[in-house]
Amino acid sequence: MATAVERFDEKARQTFERFGKTEVYVGELPRHPVYTRFLHWMVALFFFLALFSGFGIYLPWLFRWFTPIFGGGPLSRAMHPWFGLFFCLFFGLQVLNWLGPMRWTKADSHWIRNLKTQVMGTEKLDPPDTGFFNGGQKLQFWEIVIGCVIYLITGIILWAGAPTFGRLTVAVSYVLHDISALIMLGGIFIHIYLSTFGEPGTFQAMTRGAVSEAWAWTFHPAWYKEVTGRDPRQAYEEARRQMLAKRT
């Protein structure tokens, strides 16, 4: 299946791998290649530019202190569509990059059903069939895909305005655009929390590109098994025995 899109995607990955590097220390596994990390941070940059310039348009009486960053309210408004366009562009590339690993599987439905034990912290290890991405990550990914489609359609309508698309179309587009933004904003709180404070050891996956083996067998056991060939539960038990032996 050597389509032009896949060839482009593969070439981009190789090019970025030549210029950047992913250092993997003993006891670690490589997780995200340079190209993925680059796209992630470009998406993040333009997401926040679009978010902060959007705040000033959404509720000026509450968020007008965001607007000086962009040179005032009218300039925030003028630049917001461009930020959004680049956000969608880079996320579109990420979609191509991640289309394979983000495919929904039975294990993801299983993961979602087990969500409560994870949120409440009663189960320390993720379900053994959890792969490279878990159900929650895939859910958020596809939410952003849908959100980007809504952003693009309604955003272009709002950009061209009422003279082109009619008053009612524009008025409804504002509502959809904002609802999509609020859902994404709610999701981004969870995303940032889990990748930093909520699950320590995760953040380095997107900075250095490597994670510890313990992190892998805890949160993505099926992926751990796939790349190391070892059983995640056994590896965990072994590490636990070693830790206890060292303490006594």
Partner 1 sequence: MSDRKTLQTEMISAHPGPVPGAGVQRDLEVCKLVDTTTCIGCKACEVACVEWNDMPFSATTFDNTHQTMPETRWNFWNLIKFNEHQREDGTIQWLMRKDQCMHCADPGCLRACPADGAIVKYSNGIVDFNQENCIGCEYCVSGCPFNIPKFNPATKKVYKCTLCSDRVGQGLEPACIKACPTGCLKFGTKEDMKFVAETRAKQLRDHFGFEKAGVYDPQSVGGTHVIYVLHDATQPELYGNLPRNPQIPWSYTIWKWLAKPVLGTFALFGLLGVCLHYVTIGPRRPQPEPPKKEGSDGNRG
Residue ranges binding partner 1 (CB under 8 A): 56-61, 64, 67, 73-78, 118-122, 124-125, 161-163, 167-168, 170-172, 174-175, 178-179, 182, 185-186, 189-190, 193, 197-201, 212, 214-215, 217-219, 236, 239-240, 243-244, 247
Distance of alpha carbon 180 from alpha carbon 203, whole angstroms: 26
3-class secondary structure, 24: coil
- 85 or 95: CB nearest partner 1: 85
> Which pair of structure tokens corresponds to residue 2?
């050597």
**Which is nearer to partner 1, 74 or 101 (by Cβ)?**
74
Least Å from the CB of residue 120 to partner 1? 6
> What whole-number distance in Å separates Cα of residue 239 and Cα of residue 245?
10
The structure tokens listed for 24 are 């993997």
Tell me, rounded to whole angstroms, the distance of Cα 114 from its chain centroid.
Answer: 21
CB of 212 to partner 1, least distance (A): 6
CB of 248 to partner 1, least distance (A): 10
- Angle formed by the axes of helices 135-160 and 167-193, nearest 10°: 150
21 versus 241: smaller Cβ distance to partner 1: 241
CA dist 187 and 178 (Å) reads 14
Least spacing, CB of residue 96 vs partner 1, in Å:
29
Locus of tokens 């983000």: 102
Q: Which is nearer to partner 1, 89 or 239 (CB)?
A: 239
Q: How far is the CB of 183 from partner 1 (least distance, A)?
A: 8
Q: Which residues pair with 29 in a beta bridge?
A: 211
Find the radius of gyration of the CA atoms of the chain: 21
Whichever of 16 and 165 has its CB closer to partner 1, that residue is 165
- For partner 1, give the closer residue by CB, 101 or 186: 186
> Closest distance between partner 1 and the C-beta of residue 90, in Å?
23
Non-local (6+) Cβ contacts of 180 within 8 A are: 146, 147, 150, 151, 154
